[in-house]
Amino acid sequence: MMSKTDRWIGLFFALFSTYVCAESLRLGLGTFYRPGPGFMPFYAGIVLGVLSLALVSLGFFRNPEEGASWECWGRILLVVLALFGFMLLLERLGFLPSAFLFICFVLKVVERRGWGFSVGVALLVAVASYVVFDLLLKAQLPAGLLER
Amino acid sequence: MYGFAVALTWKNLAFAFAGVLLGTLVGVLPGIGPAAAISLLLPSTFHADPIASMIMLCGLYYGTMYGGSTTSILVNIPGEAASIVTCFDGYQMARRGRAGPALGIAAFGSFIAGTIAVVGLMFLAPTLASFALKFGSPEYFSLMVMSMALVTYLSQRSILKGIMMAALGLVLSAVGLDPVTAKLRFTYDVLVLRDGLGIVPVVMGLFGVSEVLLNVGVRIDREVFKTKIKSLFPTRRDWKDSSMPIVRGSFLGFFLGIIPGIGTIIPTFMSYGLEKRLSKHPEQFGTGRIEGLAGPEACNNSAATGNFVPMLSLGIPANAITAILLGALTIYGLQPGPLLIREHPDLFWGVIASMYIGNAMLLVLNLPLIPLWVQILRVPYMILYPLILLFCLIGAYSLNNNVGDVIIMGIFGVVGFLMKKFQFEPAPLVLALVLGPMLEENLRQSLLISGGSFATFLTRPLSAFFLIVSLAILFLPLFRSRSFARGER
């Protein structure tokens, strides 16, 4: 199923594969008798590159169908930001505060629930996860600010 | 018999029970799949012995197959990928007030299929292992190429895009330390990349996080059935209609599940297609035909068990999940491969016996606990999905106590989301990522032994066979129709 964006995606992969092949050459292809570290990525890159160009040309010369629908992309973006925010804060603040902030943010900002609900659920979830994963299952989550 | 002696200790029974219960729960919850669940539980298994841990993790895997069917039937949201097909007719049956028999047939069918498959596993794995001891590097290489070709061909979408994803997977599998020369490849001084990308964070991102992101964007009309689920027992007519599909599904699933690279999703789609083709009323499929439910449900359970055959006998993962289980074995200090059965018969037979027990537990668990699962499903998705994401974040972190893994998961979550939006199939990518290092190792060894000659792959009969099949699979559609690139069927 070809869509209009396939042309751009094909182009992206074509450029990516050029980079991969260049980097693989730098690593060294070795010989057929003793393939070097760049051997497999190089040939995989070639396959990717050739097929990407095929995708681009098919995208131009065939009638493309409608692309993907993008409802609620704003919310999805916010959730992604929340995810990366959690990752950045995890080791600095520790698991409990980060988990609390994450759940609170998603419920309050993304799902637009009230403060009481968001804070309450976030607190409950953060503490329960801590108990289950850190204390019971010994997952060794970072203590961060709460380190004594 | 020895296996039962191993499996029937209180400790191992408890682990089996925990595994199947958690597995069913995970299967019920949309947005968290077996891969995510296994990785969440992995750290907690480090304190237990390998046999108990494997029993639990295996129980979790086929437990998710059972659980997934519950949400597919009741809410039209697949609990995990292999249950997608169950939505087609299962949900329609529920809408007609036949949720009970649908759930019942799914449970019984799964039990029968699981049992048949375990018998198959019991006989096939040791035989295959002894046969595989004769495989050399060229045969392994070609077998892996064939697995990837099969998965790509069986992609629901375009084969062209599938091969692109497989090639990308091979490139990504090269990230990290080159095992032969110890040179760092594509790491750019990022510490976490030294050991490679890691299957678990990638899979959790591609399948777990991306699925949640997709569901955030969509208004889900979750009409969980308020009508009481009366009888869970299918009628005689239901049994009559379902018995052959269950048998066909079991065998199809098991034999396809054995082939490395197939997993469980592909066999269930094939089973659905088969039942539709064989049915006297194909036009009714999608409106609530019980055959459309019984066959695929049996199929996904037997495929999940079949997946263990190459894993236990050859050390080759059939899919991303068995790849994780293999990783778990190496963490416990066991060497997967054809010698595993010979050197650790207690592990092999213990896991087999616990599968029999696990299947029975699931049948007993599933039916009475359905009201509980229904309650869980009533929790609004807006509360569920942040929880699921949080569990994924915890799971990724607890692999190595490293934020780097969480970041990788996040990145691949976005990548997976984009892939699904633009119709690129993730399965070939994951397979290539998992098989890449072994593929490269076998390639290099083969070339070293043959003195740099590629002819070795074609002069050895089995290797040549695998390669010819691969080429045929990928290029046949090109000759048959113009639909090679469009992916139409």
> A5-19, A51-65, B114-128, B326-340: lowest mean pLDDT where?
B326-340
Give CA–CA dist B408/B402, Å, rounded: 11
Give the domain range for residue A30. 5-61
Considering the domain boundaries, does residue A32 fall inside one?
Answer: yes
Asked if A13's CB is within 8 angstroms of B410's CB, the reply is no
Name the residue of chain A whose CA is nearest to B412's CA: A80
CB environment B263-285: b (16+ within 10 A), e (fewer): bbbbbbbbbbebbbeebeeeeeb
Report the SS3 class of residue B59.
Answer: helix
Give the pLDDT band (50/70/90) at residue A22. very high
pLDDT of residue B53: 85
Residue A92 shares a structural domain with residue A36:
no
Considering the domain boundaries, does residue A47 fall inside one?
Answer: yes
Most confident of A132-141, B4-13, B167-176, B204-213: B167-176
Give CA–CA dist B99/B293, Å, rounded: 12
CA distance B304 to chain A (A): 26
Asked if A102's CB is within 8 angstroms of B410's CB, the reply is no
Give the pLDDT band (50/70/90) at residue A41. very high
Bridge partners for B184 per DSSP: B177
Bridge partners for B176 per DSSP: B185
Residue A57 shares a structural domain with residue A79:
no
Among B157, B422, B440, select the one facing A5 at the smallest CB separation.
Answer: B422
* Selection from B429, B151, B203 nearest residue B323 by Cα: B203
pLDDT of residue B488: 45
Contacts of A71 in chain B (CB under 8 A): 217-219
Residue A51 shares a structural domain with residue A95:
no
Give the pLDDT band (50/70/90) at residue A2. low
Residue A14 shares a structural domain with residue A51:
yes
Residue A46 shares a structural domain with residue A80:
no
Report the SS3 class of residue B184.
Answer: strand
CA distance A97 to chain B (A): 13
pLDDT of residue B320: 67
Contacts of B168 in chain A (CB under 8 A): 13, 44, 48
Among B397, B447, B487, select the one facing A33 at the smallest CB separation.
Answer: B447
CA distance A56 to chain B (A): 11
Asked if A54's CB is within 8 angstroms of B387's CB, the reply is no
CA distance A43 to chain B (A): 9
Considering the domain boundaries, does residue A83 fall inside one?
Answer: yes
Asked if B439's CB is within 8 angstroms of A129's CB, the reply is no
Q: How many pairs of residues across A and B have Cβ atoms under 8 Å apart?
A: 183
Going B310 to B312 to B314 to B315, the CA torsion angle's sign is positive
Contacts of A27 in chain B (CB under 8 A): 178, 183, 185
Contacts of A80 in chain B (CB under 8 A): 213, 410, 413-414
Residue B2 has pLDDT above 60, yes or no: yes
Residue B220 has pLDDT above 70, yes or no: no
Do B69 and B90 touch, CB atoms closer than 8 A?
A: yes
Residue A138 shares a structural domain with residue A88:
yes
Considering the domain boundaries, does residue A18 fall inside one?
Answer: yes
Share above pLDDT 90 across residues of chain A, in percent, rounded to a whole number: 42
Residue A18 shares a structural domain with residue A79:
no
Question: Which residues have C-beta within 8 Å of that of residue B21, sequence separation ≥ 6?
Answer: B63, B365
For range B462-480, the mean pLDDT: 82
Among B44, B181, B218, select the one facing A138 at the smallest CB separation.
Answer: B44
Q: Which of A61, A81, A100 is the last residue of a domain?
A: A61
* Selection from B355, B371, B449, B408 nearest residue B118 by Cα: B355
Asked if B410's CB is within 8 angstroms of A45's CB, the reply is no
Residue A33 shares a structural domain with residue A88:
no
Report the SS3 class of residue B376.
Answer: helix
Q: Which of A51, A62, A113 to mutate to test the interface with B (most CBs of B within 10 A)?
A: A51
Do B357 and B13 touch, CB atoms closer than 8 A?
A: yes
For range B261-276, the mean pLDDT: 79
Q: And the tokens for B229?
A: 């689920």
Give the pLDDT band (50/70/90) at residue B268. confident
Hey, what's the torsion of the CAs at B438, B444, B450, B455, to 10 degrees?
70
Do B108 and B363 touch, CB atoms closer than 8 A?
A: yes
Among B178, B216, B414, select the one facing A75 at the smallest CB separation.
Answer: B216
Among A37, A129, A139, select the one facing B181 at the smallest CB separation.
Answer: A37
Global pTM value: 0.77
Mean of all residue pLDDT scores within chain A: 85
C-alpha B157: how far from its chain's center?
19
Considering the domain boundaries, does residue A57 fall inside one?
Answer: yes
Considering the domain boundaries, does residue A25 fall inside one?
Answer: yes
Give the pLDDT band (50/70/90) at residue A20. very high
CA distance A147 to chain B (A): 16
Report the SS3 class of residue A71.
Answer: coil
Token look-up 């503490």 returns A127
pLDDT of residue B400: 78
Contacts of B196 in chain A (CB under 8 A): none
Most confident of A66-70, B19-23, B466-470: B466-470
Question: Which residues have C-beta within 8 Å of that of residue A37, sequence separation ≥ 6?
Answer: A24, A27, A28, A30, B174, B178, B180, B181, B183, B185
Q: Look at chain A and report how many structural domains it folds into.
A: 2
Considering the domain boundaries, does residue A68 fall inside one?
Answer: no
Considering the domain boundaries, does residue A66 fall inside one?
Answer: no
Contacts of B40 in chain A (CB under 8 A): 133
For range B53-62, the mean pLDDT: 83
C-alpha B164: how far from its chain's center?
21
pLDDT of residue B167: 94
Among B160, B183, B486, select the one facing A37 at the smallest CB separation.
Answer: B183
User: CB burial class (10 A; 0-12, 13-18, 19+) of residue B47?
Assistant: exposed
Give CA–CA dist B412/B416, Å, rounded: 6
Residue A78 shares a structural domain with residue A110:
yes
> A84-88, B50-54, B76-80, B81-85: lowest mean pLDDT where?
B76-80
Residue A106 shares a structural domain with residue A46:
no
Backbone phi, then psi, for B185, in 5-degree steps? -115, 125
pLDDT of residue A101: 93
Contacts of A53 in chain B (CB under 8 A): none
Q: Which residue has the higher pLDDT, B98 or B440?
A: B440
Token look-up 């299918």 returns B234
Contacts of A47 in chain B (CB under 8 A): 163, 167
For range A10-35, the mean pLDDT: 91
Contacts of A76 in chain B (CB under 8 A): 213, 216-217, 417
Residue B75 has pLDDT above 50, yes or no: yes
> B48-57, B163-172, B451-460: lowest mean pLDDT where?
B48-57
The model's pLDDT over B31-42, given as tens digits with 9 standing for 90+, comes to 566 766 776 677
The model's pLDDT over B368-423, given as tens digits with 9 standing for 90+, comes to 777 777 777 677 777 878 888 888 888 788 777 888 989 999 999 999 899 988 88
Contacts of B180 in chain A (CB under 8 A): 37
CA distance A143 to chain B (A): 12
Backbone phi, then psi, for A119, in 5-degree steps? -65, -45
Among A3, A90, A111, select the one facing B397 at the smallest CB separation.
Answer: A90
Name the residue of chain A whose CA is nearest to B448's CA: A33
The model's pLDDT over B305-322, given as tens digits with 9 standing for 90+, comes to 888 888 888 777 777 677
Contacts of B161 in chain A (CB under 8 A): 55
Asked if B41's CB is within 8 angstroms of A137's CB, the reply is yes
Q: Which of A61, A92, A109 is the last residue of a domain?
A: A61
pLDDT of residue B484: 46
ipTM of the complex: 0.90
Mean of all residue pLDDT scores within chain B: 80
Among A5, A6, A125, select the one facing B390 at the smallest CB separation.
Answer: A125
The model's pLDDT over B129-179, given as tens digits with 9 standing for 90+, comes to 787 777 888 988 888 888 778 767 766 568 888 899 999 999 999 998 887
Q: Which residue has the higher pLDDT, B135 or A90?
A: A90
CA distance B407 to chain A (A): 7
CA distance A137 to chain B (A): 5
Residue A78 shares a structural domain with residue A47:
no
Give CA–CA dist B164/A13, Å, rounded: 9
Asked if A13's CB is within 8 angstroms of B160's CB, the reply is no
CA distance B394 to chain A (A): 8
Asked if B43's CB is within 8 angstroms of A9's CB, the reply is no
Give CA–CA dist B114/B270, Å, rounded: 18
Share above pLDDT 90 across residues of chain B, in percent, rounded to a whole number: 7
Q: Which residue has the higher pLDDT, B99 or A81?
A: A81
* Selection from B61, B106, B107, B100 nearest residue B85 by Cα: B106
Residue A15 shares a structural domain with residue A35:
yes
Q: And the tokens for A146?
A: 């709460």
Asked if B406's CB is within 8 angstroms of A87's CB, the reply is yes
Asked if B397's CB is within 8 angstroms of A141's CB, the reply is yes
Give the pLDDT band (50/70/90) at residue B262. low
